[in-house]
């Protein structure tokens, strides 16, 4: 029996399509714990507008920092990100240097699958990023944006090219809800005849056709689909997870999902997330007045609505939405995927609200789009638009810069007083103002909690005892590169201190950020709620780092502890090996071991429960 792979996009849609300003991390942890119990084939956690929305939220984690957090909570499910081939998570095209850095940083933060698309389906934009992902050992899913103006051979031809470039799977993504079941079946039937790598379909339910499209695709060779516990329809609050599963009943197509656990997750999502879903008012005639008409993705409608609200013109929403489709047709009917959707939306506001007449003012981004900066437009551009562009350029006397700028070093220098972390610098490259505000808030929280200690490396030797700072370049016998790697590892983990010995020299490296932000967040929550949670007699001993669990000091030796043993605070419970370093995990309390939940030599994730101690009563 064929089993369909399920890529869950609930987390990305939570960040992208709901008001997450008031969502607390405790609720988010409950959601993650339930997701961890479900055998999804992958979780798409970032993409579209989610990167930007996370920076604006009160989650207190950066977008890529949140990826690490999710990976630690859900270690068994591969994490996926949806990105543009040249624009990544931003609204501009970025240099090869930034693309390479972004790939490496995503992988370091726990992402292993990259779903890569180009809004214009310009395959020349794919080549560099696909090779970079493949060289890094991650998986690249080449994604073709569905275009109702293209015939079926278009998808087969492009899929073959993407496979040749190095993609390990293919996805057809219906951004504007123009796909119909007969086309879905036809496309995947032909793809299955020509393509021997997994083929996915990603479709929303804007017209109520998602289940039919998915069923026809799966019945004709599709290997995987996207599902979400958030509704993707403009009307109603229902998602299609259970309906899709029911559609497979009594067929030769199955899945790995546990129905009862899906029901539990559904209840959790409805309890903690549905109150934050913002429903945009979209007139029925906008949705149904033409069966061939594209539909705006929900995030784009929200973006346009927010822009109109800022200038006090929300009543003109209908006019702007209609203008979007006029512009789309006039410049060759490109898809409304990021960043093209945002560009056309901004120009629509200029045409319908700001200017005295249509195309009186052209934004720089629409000029770049027409001139080919973002890729080749497949359709014909209205001659009047070209004339307006030429006239605008002549009047202003300024040439449009079509060169991709090398901005990384500039961004790094501008951010130097806030952060030197690669993930923050990259975020600043995409959204400078929002990243700066995010880091300012973070800096204020840390300062409010307590001063950060200077990171120190303590050197102990029988012949002398000396304390020096993290600059240890004068110690000839130490591998400085390795030492800095260890220092970075400690700083990014929840370990307070790590000790090692090199050629008789004992070194202790402390973590300057140890639990500072966690304490700040806890104090902030306590001050907001005024409630102190009761102590629990059961203490979970968790791994402070990713590594290998060892129950004894050496092979053949008795374990440090067994179930039923009594321990005192400071007793060694186990060892976690990371980067060839043995880190002793010690008890924080007096009590009795009542459970050891991992086995000797198991690989463990950060914050994974290792054992449980019943704490003695005071």
Helix (H) or strand (E) holding 160: helix 152-165
User: Going by DSSP bridges, is the β-strand pair 169-174/139-145 parallel, antiparallel, or unpaired?
Assistant: parallel
In a domain, 549, yes or no: yes
pLDDT of residue 303: 82
Q: End of a domain among 276, 299, 328? A: 276
Looking at the structure, do residues 356 and 424 belong to the same domain, yes or no?
A: no
In a domain, 402, yes or no: no
pLDDT of residue 205: 87
In a domain, 574, yes or no: yes
Looking at the structure, do residues 247 and 313 belong to the same domain, yes or no?
A: no
Looking at the structure, do residues 297 and 383 belong to the same domain, yes or no?
A: yes
Query: What are the phi and psi torsion angles at 140 (to 5°)?
Result: -115, 120
Looking at the structure, do residues 197 and 127 belong to the same domain, yes or no?
A: yes
Looking at the structure, do residues 191 and 72 belong to the same domain, yes or no?
A: yes
DSSP 3-state of 577: strand
Looking at the structure, do residues 272 and 291 belong to the same domain, yes or no?
A: no
Q: End of a domain among 507, 533, 559? A: 533
Looking at the structure, do residues 498 and 579 belong to the same domain, yes or no?
A: no
In a domain, 472, yes or no: yes
Looking at the structure, do residues 30 and 164 belong to the same domain, yes or no?
A: yes
Are 472 and 483 within 8 A, CB to CB?
A: yes
In a domain, 546, yes or no: yes
Q: What is the CATH number of the domain that holds 552?
A: 2.40.50.100
Q: What is the CATH number of the domain that holds 142?
A: 3.20.20.70
In a domain, 171, yes or no: yes
pLDDT of residue 556: 75
Tell me the C-alpha distance between 189 and 152, whole Å.
Answer: 10
Domains held by the chain: number? 5
pLDDT averages per 10-residue partition of the chain, 618 residues: 95 85 83 93 92 87 94 94 95 95 96 97 96 95 95 97 97 93 97 96 90 97 96 74 94 94 94 78 50 68 83 88 92 91 93 90 91 91 89 66 91 93 95 93 74 42 34 44 58 57 59 50 48 66 86 84 92 82 85 91 86 88
Q: Which two tokens stand for residue 351?
A: 């045409």
Looking at the structure, do residues 337 and 375 belong to the same domain, yes or no?
A: yes
Burial of 278 (0-12, 13-18, 19+ CB in 10 A): exposed
In a domain, 172, yes or no: yes
Are 34 and 253 within 8 A, CB to CB?
A: no
Looking at the structure, do residues 265 and 292 belong to the same domain, yes or no?
A: no
Residue 464 has a CB neighbour count (10 Å cut-off) of: 7
Tell me the C-alpha distance between 11 and 111, whole Å.
Answer: 14
Q: What is the CATH number of the domain that holds 312?
A: 1.10.472
Looking at the structure, do residues 106 and 194 belong to the same domain, yes or no?
A: yes
Alpha-helix residue ranges (DSSP H) falling in 355-498: 364-371, 383-396, 408-414, 422-430, 432-449, 480-492
Residue 251 has a CB neighbour count (10 Å cut-off) of: 12
Give the chain's length: 618
In a domain, 355, yes or no: yes
Looking at the structure, do residues 513 and 546 belong to the same domain, yes or no?
A: no
Domain enclosing residue 544, as ranges: 537-615
pLDDT of residue 501: 60
In Å, how far from its chain's centre is CA 477? 41
Q: End of a domain among 533, 560, 586? A: 533
């Amino acid at each position: 029996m064929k089993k369909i792979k399920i890529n869950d996009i609930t987390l990305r849609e939570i960040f992208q399509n709901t008001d997450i300003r008031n969502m607390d991390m405790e609720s988010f942890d409950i959601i993650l714990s339930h997701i961890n119990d479900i055998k999804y084939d992958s979780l798409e956690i970032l993409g579209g507008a989610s990167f930007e929305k996370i920076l604006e939220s009160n989650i207190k984690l950066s977008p890529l920092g949140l990826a690490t957090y999710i990976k630690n909570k859900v270690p068994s499910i591969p994490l996926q990100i949806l990105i543009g081939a040249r624009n990544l998570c931003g609204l501009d095209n970025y240099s090869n240097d930034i693309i390479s850095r972004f790939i490496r940083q995503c992988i370091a933060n726990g992402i292993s699958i990259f779903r890569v698309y180009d809004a214009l389906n310009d395959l020349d934009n794919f080549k560099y990023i696909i090779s970079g992902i493949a060289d890094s050992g991650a998986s690249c899913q080449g994604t073709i944006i569905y275009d109702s103006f293209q015939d079926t051979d278009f998808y087969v031809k492009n899929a073959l090219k993407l496979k040749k470039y190095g993609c390990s799977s293919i996805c057809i993504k219906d951004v504007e809800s123009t796909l119909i079941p007969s086309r879905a079946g036809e496309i995947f039937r032909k793809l299955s005849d020509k393509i021997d790598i997994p083929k996915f379909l990603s479709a929303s339910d804007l017209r109520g056709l998602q289940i039919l499209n998915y069923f026809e695709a799966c019945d004709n060779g599709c290997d995987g689909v996207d599902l979400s516990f958030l509704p993707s329809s403009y009307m109603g609050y229902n998602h299609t997870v259970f309906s899709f599963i029911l559609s497979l009943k009594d067929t030769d197509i199955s899945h790995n999902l546990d129905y009862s656990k899906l029901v539990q997750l559904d209840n959790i999502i409805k309890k903690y997330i549905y109150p934050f879903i913002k429903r945009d008012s979209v007139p029925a005639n906008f949705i149904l007045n033409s069966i061939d008409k594209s539909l705006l993705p929900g995030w784009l409608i929200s973006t346009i609505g927010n822009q109109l609200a800022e200038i006090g013109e929300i009543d003109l929403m209908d006019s702007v939405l209609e203008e979007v489709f006029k512009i789309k047709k006039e410049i060759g009917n490109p898809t409304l995927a990021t960043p093209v959707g945002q560009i056309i939306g901004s120009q629509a506001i200029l045409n319908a609200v700001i200017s005295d007449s249509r195309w009186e003012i052209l934004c720089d981004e629409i000029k770049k789009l027409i001139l080919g900066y973002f890729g080749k437009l497949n359709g014909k551009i209205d001659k009047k638009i070209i004339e307006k562009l030429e006239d605008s350029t002549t009047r202003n006397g300024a040439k449009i810069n079509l060169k991709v700028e090398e901005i990384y070093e500039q961004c790094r220098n501008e951010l130097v007083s806030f952060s030197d972390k690669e993930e923050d610098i990259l975020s600043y490259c995409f959204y400078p103002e929002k990243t700066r505000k995010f880091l300012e808030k973070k800096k204020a929280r840390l300062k409010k909690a307590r001063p950060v200690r200077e990171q120190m490396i303590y050197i102990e030797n029988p012949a002398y005892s000396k304390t020096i700072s993290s600059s240890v370049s004068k110690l000839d016998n130490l591998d400085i590169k390795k030492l800095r790697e260890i220092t970075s590892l400690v700083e990014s983990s929840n370990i307070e201190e790590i000790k090692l010995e090199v050629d008789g020299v004992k070194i202790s490296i402390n973590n300057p950020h140890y639990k500072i932000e966690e304490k700040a967040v806890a104090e902030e929550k306590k001050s907001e709620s005024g409630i102190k949670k009761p102590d629990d007699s059961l203490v979970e001993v968790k791994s402070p780092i990713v590594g290998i669990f060892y129950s004894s000091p050496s092979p053949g030796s008795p374990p440090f502890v067994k179930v039923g043993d009594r321990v005192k605070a400071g007793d060694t419970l186990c060892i976690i090996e990371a980067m060839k370093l043995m880190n002793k995990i010690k008890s924080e309390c007096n009590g009795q071991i009542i459970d050891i939940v991992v086995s000797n030599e198991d690989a463990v994730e950060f914050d994974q429960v290792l054992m449980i101690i019943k704490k003695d009563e005071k």
